Amino acid sequence: MDVLINLFVNGISTGMLIFLLASGLSLIFGLMSVLNFAHGGLFAWGAFTGVWLFNMTGSYVLALIGAIAMGMFLGFILERFLIRPVYGNHVRQLLVTLGGMLVLSECIKVFWGPNPIGAKLPLWLQGSYTFEGVILIKYRLFVILIGIIIYIALLLLLKKTKIGLMIRAGVMDKEMVQALGINVKAIFSFVFLLGAGMAALGGFLLAPYSGVIFAEMGMQYAILAFIVVIIGGLGSVQGSAIASLIVGLAGAFTAYFIPDLSLAINMLMLLFFLIVKPNGLVSEKG
């Protein structure tokens, strides 16, 4: 039983990390119709920036804020100078964002070198709790808590604020929002910066979770994020959360019980949902 509980906690915490990357990507994809493969590069930059700041200052909070700020800064550069000129052209978006992903990865090597870097935890997040004989790792519980807080904050933003209403309306009918005289480009920029910040946060949280970070780590998680976006539904935070948990739990249990399927399980789930629910679990598209 303790093995099952630990697998469940591991799956949920992994799912929350994927959610931080996928939810922003889902909003960007749903609102802006942008295939942003550079999102994974922001994830990696968040990891490296946060780890570097933590090693330099010893402050976990400062490192977390710095990682988010770096992600948003790079997101601004990407949106303003790379993605905005190719709005509406998916082929160019694909080429530009893939190029952006490669540039971000290579820039990491320029600043931090080509070798993987170890990531440490602050003392207050080290260790574990024991409950009824079950050992629960503190950091995984912390990641779950952060994921829940971000999820609730996103729901409140989208459902209780004016800009959230405009974002949801834009996801469902972008032309209608433009016809009402709303500055769609400003909403695009806000959503892109929001997604970039969450991607960087996810990268920073992943760093001590995996123990080591490397320049190409973003591509691996970007693929997972796209799978989650397709399964969850374009523009849906709820769908991204549900799909992230499904992917995280499936990965944890499959890796333990059927390790030979661990690499294929995500593609199998994607194929299944494309057949059964092609519009996603909770699609916001009207």
What are the pLDDT digits (tens) for 132-189?
777 889 999 999 999 999 999 999 998 888 888 888 777 777 777 777 777 878 888 8
Q: If you ran DSSP here, which 8-state letter would residue 260 be given?
A: G
Q: How far is CA 52 from the centre of its chain?
A: 20
Burial of 52 (0-12, 13-18, 19+ CB in 10 A): middle
CA angle 70, 110, 202 (to 5 degrees): 35
Please tell me the predicted confidence (pLDDT) of residue 285: 54
Condensed to tens digits (0 to 9), the pLDDT of residues 98-140 reads 999 999 999 999 999 999 999 999 999 999 888 877 788 999 9
| CA–CA distance, 207 with 222 (Å, rounded to integer) | 15
pLDDT band of 263, cuts 50, 70, 90: confident
Average pLDDT, the chain: 89
Of 73, 33, 12, nearest to 199 (Cα)? 73
For residue 131, the cross-strand partners are 134
Regarding the domain delimited by 2-276, which CATH topology (the fold level of the hierarchy) does it fall under? ABC transporter involved in vitamin B12 uptake, BtuC (1.10.3470)
Please state at what angle helix 237-257 crosses helix 217-232, rounded to 10 degrees.
120
pLDDT exceeds cutoff 50 at 88: yes
* Separation CA 42–CA 101 (nearest Å): 8
| Three-point CA angle 194, 197, 203, nearest 5° | 140
- If DSSP codes are grouped into helix, strand and coil, which group holds residue 131? strand
Euclidean distance between CA atoms 70 and 50, whole angstroms: 9
pLDDT at 190 over 50: yes
Task: Tokens for 215, please give them.
Answer: 């320049």
CA–CA distance, 25 with 233 (Å, rounded to integer): 11
Angle of helix 2-32 versus helix 162-172 axis, rounded to 10? 80
Q: Tell me the HSE value of 45 on the side-chain side, using a 13 A CA sphere.
A: 29
What SS3 state is found at 117?
Answer: strand
pTM above 0.85, yes or no: yes
User: Cα 274 vs. chain centroid, distance in angstroms?
Assistant: 21
